[in-house]
Amino acid sequence: MDEALIAETISITGHGGDEIEAYLARPLGQDSFGGVVVIHHMPGYDTSTKEITRKFAAHGYAALMPNLYFRDAPGASPDDAAATARAQGGVPDERLVGDVAGAAAHLRALDGSNGKAGVRPSWPRAACNSRRPSTATAPSWSGTRRRVCR
């Protein structure tokens, strides 16, 4: 593990062509790397989830966490943004999928990208941010799929 990395808040193109806030961490001094889209947990785009994003970079991946609540409460604290999103019933499925696809496209376009990008919820219940229960499954660390929402 090489902890030489750069981490910063950037703007990416998300669902519907909207510019949204995202947190990017990537390794330094590495010729080629894969990408990981980190989906934040229900409490939101916070310090602990940014640490998870940096941890992927320390292990040699470019990691990008889109702020899924950016449209709901721009500039709000993670707690307030999560409360606003919850009050609205969560993040609409099509918006979540579009924002994650935008993040993956951004990762693939980075200089040094090997063109591969995967998706990792920061916590398996992060998939519960979606409104539709049928989308509420997430890979566990072992790579199997399991139901995580009730």
Show the domains of the chain with their CATH numbers.
5-145 (3.40.50.1820)
Token pair for 123: 């916590």
Count of CB atoms situated within 10 Å of the CB of 6:
12
pLDDT tens digits for range 9-66: 999 999 999 999 999 999 998 889 999 999 998 888 899 999 999 999 999 999 999 9
Give the type of residue at 20: I
CB 72 within 8 A of CB 84: yes
* Partners of residue 105 on adjacent β-strands: none
Map 91-117 to HEC letters. ECHHHHHHHHHHHHHHHHHCCCEEEEE
Q: What is the DSSP letter of 91?
A: B
Name the pTM for this structure: 0.81
pLDDT tens digits for range 118-144: 998 866 544 454 444 443 334 433 344
